[in-house]
Amino acid sequence: MLEAFGLSDPGCVRSNNEDYFISDSESGIFILADGMGGANAGEYASHLSAEMLYEYLLNAEKPAELEMLEQGFIEANWAVRQAAQGNPELSGMGTTLVVARDIGEERFQIGSVGDSRAYLSSNGVLSLLTQDQTWVAEVGARLGLSEEVLKKHPMRHVLTMAVGSTDDLRVATSVVQMHPGDSVLLCSDGLHGIVSEKFLGEALVSEKTLPQKCHYLVEAAKNEGGPDNVTVVLIKLV
C-alpha cells in the first residue's frame, strides 16, 4: 500500500509558480514538472506535460511494460511542442519532467528529463535515482572544474534537455526495488538546489508524517531565501 503527499510553493522571490505535480496513490502514478518560458508559458508547459503523461500512463493498455514510460514522455513532448508552434506567446517554452510509477512487486519505475530529481530513502540511506541533464552535470564536470566552482558557475541552471525543447528527447529511466518503510521523494531544483542532501535524508527518516515532512522541506528552502518555486512529492511504501 502506498501513502503519498505533495506540496508546491512559489517561494520567496517569484510571484508565479511554474511547478506542477500530480500525486495519485490509487493508480501509483506520481509526476512533477518545473516549467520555463516567458509570461505564463512555463506554467502552461509544466501543466500540459504532466497531464499528458498522466493520462497516457493511466490509460495504457499494457501499463506494466517498461517502454510505456518513455513513450509517455514522447507524447508529452509532442504536445508541448505543438502548443508552442501554434501560439507565439508560448514559443520557446519547456519543462522538466520526473515520474515515479508503481509497476508491482514493490518496484517503482523512475523516468526523468531535465533536473527535477527523484531520491530513494531506504534504511536511513538517501540515494539519488536520477541524473541532472544540465550543463554542470554533463559538461562542467568533464572540464575538471571543482564542485565548489560548479555550484557557483553562471551556467549551473542551464538545462541540456527539456520536454518541449527538441524532437529528439532523451529520457532516462530506471527501476528501483522498494521495501516497506522506504520512501521516494520527487522534487524540483527549488528544493535540491537550495537544501543539502544531508538535510533531505535526515528529514525523510524523521518521525514526522508525510504532510509534515513536505511542509518542513518547503519551509527549509524558503528559510534559505526561496529563490525559486519549490515542489515536493513524497511517496511511502507501507
Strand partners, 232: 7, 187
Calpha distance 215→145 (Å, rounded):
35
DSSP state of 90: G
94, pLDDT greater than 70: yes
Residue type, 172: A
> What pTM did the predictor assign?
0.94
Pick the CATH number of 2-237 from 3.50.50.60, 3.60.40.10, 3.40.50.300, 3.30.420.40: 3.60.40.10
What pLDDT score was predicted for residue 61? 73
pLDDT tens by residue, 29-49: 999 999 998 768 999 999 999
Residue ranges of domains in the chain: 2-237
Report which residue type is found at 191.
L
> What pLDDT does residue 63 have?
64
* C-alpha cell at position 106: 514493490
How would residue 174 be classed by pLDDT, with cut points 50, 70 and 90?
very high
pLDDT at 77: 98
Radius of gyration, CA atoms only, the chain: 17
Is 150's pLDDT higher than 60? no
DSSP 21-61: EEEETTTTEEEEEEEE-TTTHHHHHHHHHHHHHHHHHHT-S
- pLDDT for the residue 67: 85
Question: What pLDDT, on a 0 to 100 scale, did the predictor assign at position 135?
Answer: 77
Beta-bridge partners for 183: 121, 236
Q: What pLDDT does 148 receive? A: 60
